[in-house]
Structure 1
Amino acid sequence: MGHSDEIVMFGIVVIAVLWAYFGLRRWLHSPLRTNYSSVPIHIEMNENTVAFQLMEQDGYEIIGGKVRIPFYFLVNDIQLDSRLFVDYVARRDGQTYLVKVARDRKPIEWTASSVRDRLLPYFLLYSDIDGILYVDEKEQQLQQIHFQLEEE
């Protein structure tokens, strides 16, 4: 092997190592998207609610009812159990939404931090949803929330 062959081989090895390093680094720093692959669809749903009627009037197809998502976490080695609830699962224009209905006892403030704190956990749960649909029955309003996670 000549001197020029060694330089070419060295260049190929350097490029491969750099490509592997940056690819692995990007993969390790990318956000964990979900623990669940798809939204469970519960067929049982209450069709006699204002929220259900508002969504249908706005062109949403309601494909699922209440979803209970149990989970636990550890605090100083003490297990705490909890759960999240999704009121409906809806679809429109090929996009799937988890639906949260407004509650009087827990109103949402429409600030970036409040929306993040209240609704981002739902978005992060499933890899196949496109956003969150927030339904305010009193105000007769639907709010479509899409989250965009940026890479550093």
Structure 2
Amino acid sequence: MDRFGDWIIMLAAAGIMIWWVLRRFDRWLHEPPGSRLRKLATAGGVDQDDNVQLLQEQGYEVLSGKHRIPLGVALDDGPVMPTRLYFDYLAFKDDKYFLVKLERSRQPMEWTASGLRERLLAYALLFPECEGIVIVLAQEQQLKIVRFKVEAGVE
């Protein structure tokens, strides 16, 4: 009789696990667009500095700051190596979300199409619901907006 009881417990546990996985998948599938951004908007605080002030002067509402997106990279069949992407702020203007990156003197921005693609495309792909990526040029007191558009190619 113990073996029969063990099977019932195993089947019940497996049923609960399958139900939980299906429920999580359904919740993820029906999650409204932009919900990841709304979660990020409430995730981090904003320190008032010159960059935030410049964004606010240009009409942006800075929602949160200093975000780190963890990623894993596997080469061939090797182990997954952890890495991360950083962006400085999440901002909101005219009912649209924008990721904000600060230009740093150690890593100057290359203002060519290929340079912008190499440096910023990952952010646009991770957050397709964002309108663009705002680059803050602190020394010039200037903002630039980068948007990516997929064009139909000729084959």
TM-score > 0.5, shorter chain as reference: yes
Per the TM alignment, residue 144 of structure 1 is displaced from its structure 2 partner at its CA by 0.8
Instruction: Please list every run of 5 or more consecutive structure 1 residues that lacks an aligned counterpart in the other structure.
Output: 1-35
- Residue number in structure 1 paired with 2:73: 73
> 1:49-128 residue pairs with structure 2 within 5 A?
49-78=49-78, 79-128=80-129
**TM-score, structure 1 normalization:** 0.71
Higher RCO, 1 vs 2 (CA within 8 Å, ≥6 residues apart) = 1
How far did 1:37 drift?
5.9
Percent identical across equivalent pairs?
A: 39
Unaligned runs of 5+ in 2: 1-33
1:148 deviates by 0.7
Q: Which runs of 4+ in 1 moved over 4 A?
A: none
Aligned residues: 116
Q: Deviations over 1:69-122 (max 9, x none)?
A: 000110132322100011000011111100001111100111000011111111
Using the size of structure 2 for normalisation, the TM-score is 0.70
Name the structure 1 match of 2:19: none
Question: What RMSD over aligned residues (CA atoms) do the two structures have, in Å?
Answer: 1.6
The residue type paired with residue 114 of structure 1 is G
Greater per-residue helix proportion: 2
